[in-house]
A and B are shown apart, each in its own frame.
Chain A
Amino acid sequence: SQTIHQWPATLVQPVGSPLSLECTVEGTSNPNLYWYRQAAGRGLQLLFYSVGIGQISSEVPQNLSASRPQDRQFILSSKKLLLSDSGFYLCAWSTSRDSYGYTFGSGTRLTVV
């Protein structure tokens, strides 16, 4: 069966520090991968998605970037965090047909102080 792992679960980082959040999927190949952000008490905003290694699409201009160095690995990064980067970050995957929706990881709560 397919599983998705996301870490760390919680992160407190100072303003101006770098960020690296990692997501991996097991039990499938060539998944579509997604990064969402959820601000406190609000809906999910799609940040990046990837349909293959090295293929990244950005949905909104921001201080963050994403990379997909391996088929089942998706990384969210920042060189210098801003206070506004605080939030709950969710990784998700789907099959290439993705008509059955996305399966989400357990999320990372990021607090920038």
Chain B
Amino acid sequence: AQTVTQSQPEMSVQEAETVTLSCTYDTSESNYYLFWYKQPPSRQMILVIRQEAYKQQNATENRFSVNFQKAAKSFSLKISDSQLGDTAMYFCAFMWNKLVFGAGTILRVKS
């Protein structure tokens, strides 16, 4: 069974600075997808970024980018120029046949 591990329960960052959230996963599959979801205080789940495992190029979406290391089974999220609205819980998720989530990292952006 696939598992996703987020080792940082909570993190904080100053507004305008950069922060990196860590994620590792375990799978024997070679073709899969990885995601980062954001859950703000409203608790709405919002897709932040998506990575296809067969693509070596790291995905980017505006201020959000990932560092995908397939051999190490690592998928970290970098948030540049952090904004107060980035305060949320962030979930790393793995999908081969179903979407499996990590336990989440609470990110607080401080002014």
Contact = CB atoms under 8 A, between A and B. Distances in A.
Interface in B72-99: 91, 93, 95, 98-99
Contacts of B91: 43-44
A111 to B, nearest CB: 14
Given A42-B103, A106-B44, A107-B44, A101 B93 contact: yes
Interface of A: 34, 42-44, 46, 49, 88, 90, 92, 94, 98-104, 106-107, 109
Contacts, number: 44
B35 interface: yes
> Is the interface on chain B under 10, 10 to 19, 20 to 34, or 35 or more residues?
20 to 34
A99 B33 contact: yes
Interface in B35-53: 35, 37, 42-45, 47, 50, 52
B44 A100 contact: no
Nearest to B99: A102
Given A99-B33, A107-B43, A43 B98 contact: no
